[in-house]
Amino acid sequence: MKSLKVVTLVIALAVGLSLLPLIAQQAGSKGGEQKININTASLSELQKLPRIGPQVAQRIIDYRKEHGNFKKIEEIMKVRGIGEKTYNQLKDLITVGAEITGK
């Protein structure tokens, strides 16, 4: 009987470990939360992004006030303090909104 409990425990542990990446992915996406629009996000919304503190968040807002809306998410690298490393952590979490088509 003791060996059956051990086998059951090992199987449960194996199943749990195999599901861990899926659980972590769901936790990281926060239940399907939408991307943060860097053209409309407030200071506090921008600070929810990894590696974005109050100063960099303010620079993003200042940049879009001075230069207009970002057309592509890659343009966020024009903001001082956001390099390629930070961009790679942000790219799946940000958007510039729906593409606007003109006449």
The per-residue DSSP string of the chain comes to -HHHHHHHHHHHHHHHHHHHHHHHHHHHHTTTPPPEETTT--HHHHTTSTT--HHHHHHHHHHHHHH-S-SSGGGGGGSTT--HHHHHHHTTTEE--SPPPP-
What is the reported pLDDT for 99?
53
What is the reported pLDDT for 97?
87
Report the predicted TM-score, pTM, of the whole model to 2 decimal places: 0.65
What is the reported pLDDT for 26?
45
What is the reported pLDDT for 98?
73
Instruction: Clarify whether residues 10 and 51 are in a common domain.
Output: no
pLDDT band at 12 (very low <50, low <70, confident <90, very high): low
Which residue segment(s) compose the domain that 26 sits in? 1-31
Convert the pLDDT of each residue in 61-100 to its tens digit. Answer: 999 999 999 999 999 999 999 999 999 999 999 999 875 5
Is residue 63 one of the residues assigned to a domain?
yes
Instruction: Clarify whether residues 22 and 41 are in a common domain.
Output: no
Domain count, the chain: 2
Instruction: Clarify whether residues 21 and 56 are in a common domain.
Output: no
pLDDT band at 11 (very low <50, low <70, confident <90, very high): confident
